[in-house]
Amino acid sequence: MIQPTERFYEADAYRTAASSVITAVLPQAGGGGRVALAGTVFYPEGGGQPADRGTLTLPDGARLSVLDVHEKEGVVWHTVDALPAAAVPGAPVEEAIDWAWRFDKMQQHTGEHILSGTLHRLFGAENVGFHIGAGAVRMDASVPLSPAQLRQAETEANRFVWQDLPVQVSYPSREALAYMTYRSSKEIAGQVRIVTIPGADACACCGTHTATTGQVGLIKIAAAERYKGGMRLAVLCGARALAEVQAMQARQGEIVAELSAKPAETANAVRRVHAELAALKYAQYGLCTQLFDALAATVAPGQDAVFTVPGLDPDGLHRLAVRLTEATEGLCAALTPSGTGCGYCLARRGGDVRPLTRALNAACGGRGGGKPGICQGSCAAAPEEAARFLRSHTVE
């Protein structure tokens, strides 16, 4: 029986270092292993919060990297990258956590409490899932929420941040708990730890939190989608929210430069560009129709018709080939330069162009196919080269 680990982070989430003693060691095949300590500042993964990272230093100066931390039956196990001979039960260690990593989790976790409590109070939403990932914090709410409701909750949650309220931890008796209202994801055996943010939230939680709401900085709902009858939210707090705003500003800077528009006018500028593009497409369609008619007029019935027109998309190639079949029963080919090769559409009224298409693909490194009367694709040869090949292979 290994002695349970004293959890220093429960009493003081700001404690970054501690001296303790190894109580058990579990070597792993291939090096490294797991170490249990009498007391720890390392938070083990749980309640949606990832495990801490950091180091354990032995008396001889050997420093072990803590890669992961898990709790099992009251014992906190630290997964380390190496297990020197000096790492034995009874050996003293100096613990140090990666504080930047931890404080980020505290900001996200406390922000989640404030937002969950606010969504619950305003709209009766239960928090049915929570995970602090590498990107955004994933939060699942039990009821559908409109964009307006999410905006209202986000604003309200940030008001609690501005008030810089204390984040209180308490261990009420069973009797006192019976009269308390608090959020809880499951029935908890033994001592219940209640985290209270006055007016905003009360929740049974074993995680680490900031001392006051002000340290959360900013609570931003970055994305929301319908999920299992409720909502899945992507939430960013503190430094993560600031980094996202900075990234958004950089993206906006690029868009503003591309559109030559003021930041507040980008949506109108995009609408204008779309309208211009639609008008150009309309004009181009008409010009192509006239061009295709003119090309078809130069073809005598029964003659082969092979034409190269730059700038055609697959639809344009198809239209030209079909238009040519109205003028002749010979081979009709529409070609257009594309990259280092060309796009093609082959057609023959009442015929089968599939053998010719296969021959073109084989000879010119192409790919494509279709129905007997019309085939479409692209090949590695330039249009002139493809045209030469087609003119010399016009057997049925």
Q: Which residues are at the interface with Zn ion (CB under 5 A)?
A: 109, 205, 207
* 204 Cβ contact list (under 8 Å, min separation 6): 182, 183, 184, 185, 188, 192, 193, 194, 195
**Shortest reach from residue 117's CB to Zn ion, in Å:** 11
Q: For residue 14, give the amino acid letter.
A: Y
Residue nearest Zn ion by beta-carbon distance: 205
Distances in Å between the Cα of 295 and the Cα atoms of 107, 287, 300 are 69, 12, 11
**Shortest reach from residue 130's CB to Zn ion, in Å:** 9
Distances in Å between the Cα of 202 and the Cα atoms of 104, 181, 199 are 21, 7, 9
Query: Which is nearer to Zn ion, 137 or 321 (by Cβ)?
Result: 137
Q: For residue 83, give the amino acid letter.
A: L
**Shortest reach from residue 200's CB to Zn ion, in Å:** 12
**Shortest reach from residue 220's CB to Zn ion, in Å:** 19
Nearest to 166 by CA among 114, 103, 241: 114
First-to-final CA distance of the chain = 87
Query: Which is nearer to Zn ion, 66 or 205 (by Cβ)?
Result: 205
Between CA 158 and CA 162 the distance in angstroms is 6
**Shortest reach from residue 114's CB to Zn ion, in Å:** 10
Distances in Å between the Cα of 277 and the Cα atoms of 3, 118, 274, 286 are 72, 45, 5, 14
**Shortest reach from residue 113's CB to Zn ion, in Å:** 5
Between CA 156 and CA 125 the distance in angstroms is 15
Query: Which is nearer to Zn ion, 116 or 357 (by Cβ)?
Result: 116
**Shortest reach from residue 16's CB to Zn ion, in Å:** 19
Query: Which is nearer to Zn ion, 169 or 363 (by Cβ)?
Result: 169
Distances in Å between the Cα of 146 and the Cα atoms of 111, 119, 126, 232 are 20, 12, 16, 12
Query: Which is nearer to Zn ion, 109 or 323 (by Cβ)?
Result: 109
**Shortest reach from residue 270's CB to Zn ion, in Å:** 41
Query: Which is nearer to Zn ion, 203 or 364 (by Cβ)?
Result: 203
Nearest to 308 by CA among 386, 395, 379, 380: 386
Query: Which is nearer to Zn ion, 108 or 336 (by Cβ)?
Result: 108
Backbone angles phi, psi at 314, to 5 degrees: -55, -35
Query: Which is nearer to Zn ion, 36 or 167 (by Cβ)?
Result: 167
Between CA 131 and CA 207 the distance in angstroms is 12
**Shortest reach from residue 378's CB to Zn ion, in Å:** 57
**Shortest reach from residue 195's CB to Zn ion, in Å:** 5
Query: Which is nearer to Zn ion, 196 or 376 (by Cβ)?
Result: 196
Between CA 314 and CA 342 the distance in angstroms is 11
Q: For residue 355, give the amino acid letter.
A: P
Query: Which is nearer to Zn ion, 41 or 375 (by Cβ)?
Result: 41
Q: What are the start-end ranges of the H helices in the chain?
A: 8-11, 99-123, 147-162, 174-178, 238-259, 266-297, 314-325, 354-364, 383-391
